[in-house]
Chain A
Amino acid sequence: MGFVVVLLKREEKRMFGFIRQRAACRGNHASSLERGIRATALRTFSSSGKEMTVRDALNSALDEEMSADPKVFLMGEEVGEYQGAYKISRGLLKKYGPERVRDTPITEAGFTGIGVGAAYYGLKPVIEFMTFNFSMQAIDHIINSAAKSNYMSAGQISVPIVFRGPNGAAAGVGAQHSQCFAAWYGSCPGLKVLVPYSSEDARGLLKAAIRDPDPVVFLENELLYGESFPVSAEALDSSFCLPIGKAKIEREGNDVTITAFSKMVGYALKAAEILAKEGISAEVINLRSIRPLDTSTINASVRKTNRLVTVEEGVPQHGVGAEICATVVEESFYYLDAPIERIAGADVPMPYAANLERIAVPQVDDIVRAAKRICYRSH
């Protein structure tokens, strides 16, 4: 697919890519469970030789979507004059003006409610939380006013809103700034929950989220903002978007499946490198979407490798890994050669001291040891 795309003339390529992306985005839901079918092949785009930070990826995605659709507007604390608490909205105030990039007073509950009202009317707000820890102030509006509205109104009120911001642990910010909310929001029917890892993820998923008619919770990661990733030419196109509900196989393997999302994908890939040197071929799945969860890709992978390690930053109880374990046990029990291992954060509020914080969050070694454990168990 990548090679063919390169051969097409410029305009044709753009049109072809546009149509394909539009088709991919129109559905925006996970394809039906393909029992016993191999996981879809790794998508390769033509390389552009370009690298982009996640910050720039998000910024460009916002810019392009705001440019394409006058209904899209950004609201949050410090998004305007300050250029964004993490500079994600740099330059947008100047380009689009204060009507479309609104600095708000300090009330998450307030500006989330305002945003939901605007979405009820038909605008497409992008609400930024300085971190998702602060979204708890607004969670009533996110769940009761946004997630449930289409259902409660019997389809009369759709809420095309995006809630985005950094989620999970940063570095040395303590308990009230470090919680992971993937499992919380992942439990809510009516919400879509996305967890980008790379710059392509960030661009493609944010664009998909903004275009989606349902409310989307978009969980970024502060430590990833500055990280650079290679981006394909297709990903740089303004019509680019990724389907919601499809996981990505970052690295193919045969011996053990490792699922991860957001920052942990990087850790899992590093672990896979180490494991490869010891003769264990790990398949790393970047979940990209917590709700809907791409159970078909996960199960297909487990049926191939017969072993599973789930990785997440959040606490183990009621976490994303717990859900993945349950679905694999339900659908692929007889394919498992070993019990599933969950790697998760310590079941404590995040401590501050650097050494304590390091132990409270999964590290690459933890993933490596878990994979080895379940590989040796069957011997």
Chain B
Amino acid sequence: MALCLSKSRKFLAHLKPKMGVLGMMNLSSWSSCLSRKQASLSGNGRIPHAFFWNRPPLFTSRRFESVKADIQLGSLRPAGDPQVLNFPGGIVKFTPELKFLSDFPEERIHCYRVLDDSGQPISNNFVQIDKDVAVKMYKDMVTFQTMDTIFYEAQRQGRISFYVTAIGEEAINIASAAALTMDDIVFPQYREAGVLLWRGFTLQEFANQCFGNKGDNGKGRQMPAHYGSNKHNYVTVASTVATQIPHAVGAAYSLKMDGRDACTITYFGDGGTSTGDFHAALNFAAVMEAPVILFCRNNGWAISTPVSDQFRSDGIVVRGQAYGVRSIRVDGNDTLAVFSAVHVARKMAISESRPVLIEALTYRAGHHSTSDDSSKYRPIEEIEWWRAAQDPVARFRKWLEGQGWWTAQSEIELRDRARQEVLHAIQVAEKVEKPPIREIFTDVYDVPPSNLRDQEKSLRGTIERHPQDYPHFPL
């Protein structure tokens, strides 16, 4: 962006003597863009000053009467001005300059941040939260971190088959969840269990799903960490990458048609933005004017693929404009920044019926999953530095302590209790029976068809006749 501006300054100077009325309009809109950087942080503290480029009115090409063309030739070339043409898509000004837009900005898009590394606010430009919310956020971040650590260990011990941690992304999880309401529908990827935790899913429910036992509200149908709960408006995790993005857009469109005061939010990683689904979803979201928050967790890694091998754009935030979607880059390890961005994005999405893209920069401090050992493709020192020096939980705690809302004693108690509760949940879940045979055949369809009823009967008969071949099979 900045590169464009500096180039355009020269270009404007070059053209200035030739510009007519349109040129004057253009100049003022350029200058307001130029002044963006200076004015950015001068909010009154309540709601941060959100800036976006002046949007010239677009020529609307929507027509739904008939296929008959009804353009007036006069509007194709307004007032006989040779400098512009009303192409399909809108008026475009011509230029004699053979100039290509740069592939990469001179400076990367700036990243919105509230707290510095030691938890001190660098400005007043953030959404204030009161003590109860802040403390709940912190407690959930710690609980989430504890749950991830212990469940990971449980997998290593062979007690569950698989697990996905979100170490390093606790702020993204909890802060984004806290900025939404329960009516907003969440379309997660798989590293957003914290959102579900915030909404009230219990540690026991998490454990039950991971153990695939009878208490699992997923009836043992899916791998661990593939949580889902209608009650919490959290759509079941699917292993397919980025499929949730167009789903979220479709659901947002439905919310809009219903006139509901809610939006959808969908999460995905840097890797997921390479998929066709990402492209189609962003494009559609803009065209359909769907109230969806598209939250990209850019944590630098897609399993072993670093972002430099994933794309060559300046991250994900710049893609928003390519689709006509408003976007922002935030510090994903800064709880207050994430909270503010999502809070404002939600308002925009609902009141203006538009998609908003948020790129949260962070680092995947854990491995991709329990099937991965990331020290094989990145230096351990790098992992350790991010995990320790950039721990979002610690940074938020410092701010809380600065507010006088948290003490060292509370910390010890919380960590202790969280650990006990997680361990207890695992111990209980381990002993619960697995789901009964019946659940193999239910939910394939709304009502089991005759062939499935026959198959179940046949299976039961077989088990009855050969019980020794089917130990531990709850019927």
Contact = CB atoms under 8 A, between A and B. Distances in A.
Interface of A: 27-33, 80-82, 93-94, 97-99, 102, 104-105, 107, 109-123, 125, 140-141, 144-145, 149-158, 189-190, 192, 212-214, 245, 292, 295-296
Given A31-B450, A213-B446, A214-B446, A110 B246 contact: yes
Interface string B443-459: 11111111101100000
A143 B229 CA distance: 21
Given A32-B450, A292-B451, A154 B246 contact: no
A113 B243 contact: yes
A272 B251 CA distance: 49
Contact of A117 (B247, B257, B279, B449): B247
Closest 10 CB pairs of A and B: A110-B280, A117-B250, A113-B246, A117-B247, A114-B250, A154-B219, A121-B254, A153-B236, A118-B250, A121-B251
B241 to A, nearest CB: 10
Interface in B252-294: 252-255, 257, 276-277, 279-281, 283-284, 287-288
Contacts of A114: 246-247, 249-250, 253, 280-281, 284, 288
Nearest to B239: A144
A223 B199 CA distance: 53
A121 B449 contact: no
A156 B229 contact: yes
A99 B290 CA distance: 12
A18 B45 CA distance: 62
Contacts of A192: 445
8 contacts: A29-B448, A29-B449, A29-B450, A110-B280, A110-B284, A117-B248, A121-B251, A153-B218
A245 B277 contact: no
Contacts of B253: 114, 117-118
A206 to B, nearest CB: 18
A209 to B, nearest CB: 13
A152 B219 CA distance: 9
B30 to A, nearest CB: 31
B276 A118 contact: no
Nearest to A292: B449
A30 B277 contact: no
Most buried by B among A104, A117, A119: A117
A157 B445 CA distance: 11
A115 B454 contact: no
Given A107-B276, A111-B284, A117-B249, A151 B444 contact: yes
A292 B248 CA distance: 30
A81 to B, nearest CB: 6
Interface string B413-449: 0000000000000000000000000010011111111
Nearest to A143: B240
Contact of A189 (B238, B254, B444, B447): B444
Contacts of B240: 140, 144-145
B284 A156 contact: no
Contacts of A120: 235, 247, 250-251
Contact of A292 (B216, B277, B279, B450): B450
A113 B280 contact: yes
B221 interface: yes
B228 interface: yes
Nearest to B234: A156
A102 B219 CA distance: 37
Contacts of B454: 32-33
Nearest to B287: A105
A125 B257 CA distance: 13
Contacts of B245: 113
Contacts of B185: 121
Contacts of A81: 64, 66-67
